[in-house]
Amino acid sequence: MNVNTAFLLQRRTIRKYKSEDVADDLLNDIINEGCRTSTTGNMQVYSIIVTRDSQIREQLLPLHFNQPMVTEAPVVLTFCADFNRFNKWCVLNDAKPGYDNFLSFMTAAIDALLVAQTICISAEARGLGICYLGTTTYMAHKIIEVLRLPLGVVPVTTVTLGWPAVYPEQPDRLPAGAIVHREVYTEYTDQQIRDYYSAKEAREDSAQFVRENNKTTLAQVFTNVRYKKEDNVYFSGILLQVLKDQGFMNQ
């Protein structure tokens, strides 16, 4: 068979979309391909919320820190870890579900994330553009309210989907050698770390990032501006509370 996957190498995240809609039939084809993704025990413990309604997307907008794609893309897909449907099926069939624990949350989150990525690849293969919103795990508690997610359901990622209006430059990536370990994990030497990140640091956009934020190193832009400890700690507390509230911490 051998399908040409070169588009995977050329891809980039799309943040500017045409006003053109994504037809329902097209979206259904993409979702059907997504639903063939492997899931643990074929339990399919995930759900996909397809949000097109502009009023609901307006409500989601601040929860995604006002990233404009939420209202500018025609479709927002929220991928949820979902044991609710499976639990209901168990109860209707004289079976007592035991999925109100952290392992089960991870099982369901893995299902949801693998399906999300198949859907993104299927969409990109059709010329559509996607953007992942990492804000989902920060603001899960509020997304749960807007999307009316019941017990047993937690949003784990969100994808905006539409026809690309602007193709940005491809961002940098670390060399594969930085990511891949042979046989077992090999701890990095300081010199390896410097080498692996040197191209990233040398980029003009990185230098600009450092200047704009009045920092001396690129790493400080991450630790002091973009992904700060105090925020991470704060949102960790909220996310763990979400898992409790949604019924995944009863072990």
For the segment 67-96, give every residue that binds a copy of itself (CB under 8 A).
Answer: 80, 84-86, 88-90, 92-96
Per CB under 8 A, does 65 bind a copy of itself?
Answer: no
Residues 223-242 that bind a copy of itself (CB under 8 A): 223-224, 226-230, 232-233, 235-237, 239-240
Per CB under 8 A, does 102 bind a copy of itself?
Answer: yes
Q: How far apart are CA 144 and CA 49, in angstroms?
A: 11
> Minimum Å distance from CB 176 to a copy of itself?
6
Side chain identity, residue 244: K
**Contact with a copy of itself (CB under 8 A) among 61, 178, 209, 245:** 178
Per CB under 8 A, does 204 bind a copy of itself?
Answer: no
> Minimum Å distance from CB 218 to a copy of itself?
7
CA 98 to chain centre: 27
Q: How far apart are CA 22 and CA 1, in angstroms?
A: 28
Partners of 81 in the β-ladder: 46, 154
Q: How far apart are CA 95 and CA 99, in angstroms?
A: 12
Contact indicator for 159, 27 with CB cutoff of 8 Å = no
> Minimum Å distance from CB 6 to a copy of itself?
8
Per CB under 8 A, does 8 bind a copy of itself?
Answer: yes
**DSSP reduced 3-state for 160:** strand
**Contact with a copy of itself (CB under 8 A) among 67, 104, 158, 246:** 104
Residues 38-57 that bind a copy of itself (CB under 8 A): 38, 40-44, 46-53, 56
Of the pair 68, 171, the CB lying nearest a copy of itself is at 171
> Minimum Å distance from CB 95 to a copy of itself?
4
Per CB under 8 A, does 206 bind a copy of itself?
Answer: no
Dihedral sign for Cα 38, 41, 46, 50, please.
positive
Per CB under 8 A, does 173 bind a copy of itself?
Answer: yes
Q: How far apart are CA 136 and CA 147, in angstroms?
A: 12
Of the pair 68, 225, the CB lying nearest a copy of itself is at 225
Q: How far apart are CA 31 and CA 191, in angstroms?
A: 45
Q: How far apart are CA 110 and CA 92, in angstroms?
A: 25
